[in-house]
Amino acid sequence: MPVKWLLIAAAAVHLAAASSPPEPITTIDVGVRENMQTGTVQPPLPKLTAEQSERINFGKYAVPPTLQSLLDLRQELGDPERLYDAVYFFVNTENFRYFSTPGDVVVFGNVGVDGVHYGFLTDYGTVTDLEEAPIVCISPMDFDRPVRIVAKNLKDFLRLSLTDANLVLNPFGTEAEYLAAQERWAEEEKASPYQRTEEEKQARLEVIHELQKRISLPELGLSAFSYVQKTSEERGRQVTIRTLDGLGVTTPLEQGRLHEEFKVSKDEPIDLSKLKAYLAGAPRASKLALLRDLQITRVLPNEKELQPLLLEEMQLLGLKDEAARIQASY
């Protein structure tokens, strides 16, 4: 399903549902769905209030000014659909996540289709201010690589979304592939039955104008495609250990220590006794890399022995916020 259609379909679905109160977004519901898809039914976790869910999502961090401006604008517009029509995502500060959402991501928005959502990558709590945190796109249905860094910070992300939201949602190997997709989407949009009226186009421009009055968005300085590519390349130079999800870890290895890899795959069972021995002596950076690899290769709610072991290790590593996000999501 081309993402251009995904965006149009999402808008149509939500506009059609606008006359009835929206269902509350709860992390508990997401967890239950994931378990049912794999045939495993677990006792439901206590239902969280929106305030509790937001507190778990943000952990030690405050809501950054740019995100607060978006929240204020959404409130003043009175209808979340109006802001969605401008930026193509729903602003969401609750702990909305799937099993593939990294524990060190603070979620701030979701597309409304296929579980796609966006968040601040905190690099296991080392980012000091979410205003400057890298932005990731999580696509749970993309099983090969569900997580990608798409922008250096939230302001750049907003500029990118206003330039071409499809580029945020889709990975492209080359600019030629991207340009070809743009042409194809343009033709599909012309043939689409979901066309904006002139009034809807004007309403969207008014929201964008108001957003830009409140938030000073930088120019990317490059083509949108080149910006995304450069951001990905810069991330690659920052990581100390590469991981299966493509994010890597930026924590440096202790002096005199080398990376100790604990290999995992989707197809091989994990020897818990070997894992415990590994966790007892591996460098911190190596353990963080393993956490990423395990989240991308395992549905942790179904791992009755592995998940408690990992949550305990995260507590020992001082990753209380990250552990709480994962535990409250399933």
How is 66-107 classified by DSSP, letter by letter? Answer: HHHHHHHHHHHHS-HHHHHHHHSSEE--S----TTS-TTEEE
- Same domain? 282 vs 223: no
Mean pLDDT of all residues in 210-231: 94
Looking at the fold, whether 58 and 162 belong to one and the same domain comes out as yes
> For all residues of the chain together, what is the average pLDDT?
86
Residue 143 in any domain: the answer is yes
Q: Which of 136, 104, 229 is nearest to 175 (CA)?
A: 229
**Amino acid identity, position 146:** P
Q: What is the pLDDT of residue 285?
A: 98
Same structural domain for residues 299 and 183?
no
Per-residue pLDDT band for 46 (boundaries 50, 70, 90) equals low
pLDDT over 60 (residue 27): no
Same domain? 68 vs 123: yes
Residues 184 and 286 in one domain: no
Same domain for 126 and 249? no
* Domain presence at residue 233: no
The verdict on 96 and 38 lying in the same domain is yes
Domain final position from 197, 228, 259: 228
For the residues 206-226, what does the mean pLDDT come to? 94
pLDDT at 1: 43
Residues 207 and 252 in one domain: no
- 192 is a domain residue: yes
Q: What is the CA radius of gyration of the chain?
A: 20
Top pLDDT among 262 and 100 is at 262
pLDDT score for 190: 87
Assess whether 207 and 297 both reside in one domain. Answer: no
Q: State mean pLDDT over 221-247.
A: 94
Domain membership of residue 315 as a residue range: 240-329
Q: Is residue 21 part of a domain?
A: yes
**Which of 160, 194, 228 is a domain's end point?**
228
Of 228, 255, 272, the position where a domain reaches its end is 228
| Single-letter amino acid, residue 115 | G
pLDDT at 25: 33
Q: How many domains does the chain have?
A: 2
Over residues 213-236, the mean pLDDT reads 94
Q: Look at residue 142 in the predicted model and tell me its pLDDT.
A: 87
- Helices 284-297 and 306-316: crossing angle in degrees, nearest 10, is 150
- pLDDT at 189 (0 to 100): 86
Residue 235 lies in a domain: no
pLDDT at position 112 over 60 = yes
Strand order of the β-sheet with 90-91 is: 90-91, 105-110, 117-121, 135-138, 147-151
**CB-based contact 249:288 (threshold 8 Å):** yes
Same domain, 166 and 300: no
Residue 136 φ then ψ, to 5°: -115, 150
- Which SS3 state, helix, strand or coil, does residue 219 take? coil
Q: State pTM to two decimals.
A: 0.86
202 falls within a domain? yes
